[in-house]
Amino acid sequence: MKKVSSLTELGFADDVHRALFRPIQQAAPPSPTKRHTKISVIGAGNVGMAIAQTILTQDLTDELALVDAKPDKLRGEMLDLQHAAAFLPRTRILASPDYAVTVDSDICIITAGARQIPGETRLNLLQRNLSLFKEIVPPLARYSPGALLLVVSNPVDVLTYIAWKLSGFPPNRVIGSGTNLDSSRFRFLLADHLEVNAQDVQAYMVGEHGDSSVALWSSISVGGVPILSQFTKDVAAIEQGVLERIRKAVVDSAYEVIRLKGYTSWAIGYSVASLARSLLRDQHRIHPVSLLANGFYGIPDDREVFLSLPAQLGRSGILSVANIQLTEEEAGRLRRSADALWDLQQKLGL
């Protein structure tokens, strides 16, 4: 088989390998069933590339495939990663505008999405993204019928629902990045103030990713110590307003980064790489991610909506949803999110 390599095109002999290395006697050929982990990232923009590069640096996969509609940009990004070969473990990096390059992926991460035009309604943006996902999701599902789909594009909850419908996959294999990053921003603010490590802060934001996310104050603990009770034990009464201002600060922090640098990339890169690791390595870790939420916390069984709840993730996707105690108000907010998302989905004509 003619070797495909740019050195061959330059006249470098094809058989130098044989002159340098010899196999042992009676070696069997490689088994066709040996697993080679593969992650595909759809969309080579700022978010897609931050995710791809973090996955590469953290050595999470044997093969990384990139897909984008812009072939030059895509090829440039692929080369820029390949050129770091001397500094990284050997990961095979592929790129093509053709979805065939994603064949046999363990995880497909979708970051492609239309950006909101100023003044555009949310429904209109969603219609445009629905058209885009109709081009993206069916080929992904066809080339990797057993893959886990991880949706990052916004608005993530509805787009994850759309990806689920278009793929025909069982719902445990279709996940949205949801409030995984919001929760990290929440934990960062708390940890920074308390001078603890963010990894010792357990604090979930759940529900819809965005303005109406729900901060689960009652379930926040630091080093195992629930802190809401510390509030109420305190002499000074804590106004409900303070908690809501903190939640808003978390939601605003994304807009703040966009206002300052034009987009966000690094944090979502780490967030998604963290999800990819938990899934691929069957970690059984709990992450707040967007999943099919009907039947939980009073959301009616017939309301097929995706929103974020703390879930155990592993090799087969969503293993379970953690049975976290919600206050009545928190559960009420979740149900209201579910209603709003359901109404929006009805208008899509999917």
Q: How far is CA 298 from CA 134, 161, 256, 281, 345, in A?
A: 31, 19, 34, 32, 19
Q: How far is the CB of 27 from a copy of itself (least distance, A)?
A: 15
Q: How far is the CB of 85 from a copy of itself (least distance, A)?
A: 4
Is 209 marked active-site? yes
In the bound state with a copy of itself, the residue whose beta carbon lies nearer, of 80 and 282, is: 80
Spot the catalytic one: 83, 209, 284, 287. 209
Question: Nearest CA to 149 among 162, 210, 81, 34?
Answer: 162
Within its chain, how far is the Cα of 229 from the centroid? Answer: 33
Pairing of strands 285-292, 306-314: antiparallel
Q: How far is the CB of 299 from a copy of itself (least distance, A)?
A: 26
Q: Is 154 annotated as a binding residue?
A: yes
In the bound state with a copy of itself, the residue whose beta carbon lies nearer, of 244 and 329, is: 244
Q: Is 241 annotated as a binding residue?
A: no
In the bound state with a copy of itself, the residue whose beta carbon lies nearer, of 246 and 348, is: 246
Q: How far is the CB of 114 from a copy of itself (least distance, A)?
A: 21
Question: Nearest CA to 148 among 118, 128, 176?
Answer: 176
Q: Is 152 annotated as a binding residue?
A: yes
Tell me whether the omega of the peptide bond preceding residue 145 falls within 30 degrees of 0, making it cis. Answer: no
In the bound state with a copy of itself, the residue whose beta carbon lies nearer, of 35 and 233, is: 233
Q: Is 14 annotated as a binding residue?
A: no
Q: Is 43 annotated as a binding residue?
A: yes
Residue 205, beta-bridge partner list: 215
CB-based contacts of 194, cutoff 8 Å, min separation 6: 201, 222
Residues forming the active site: 209
Residues marked as binding for NAD(+)?
Answer: 43-48, 68, 129, 152-154
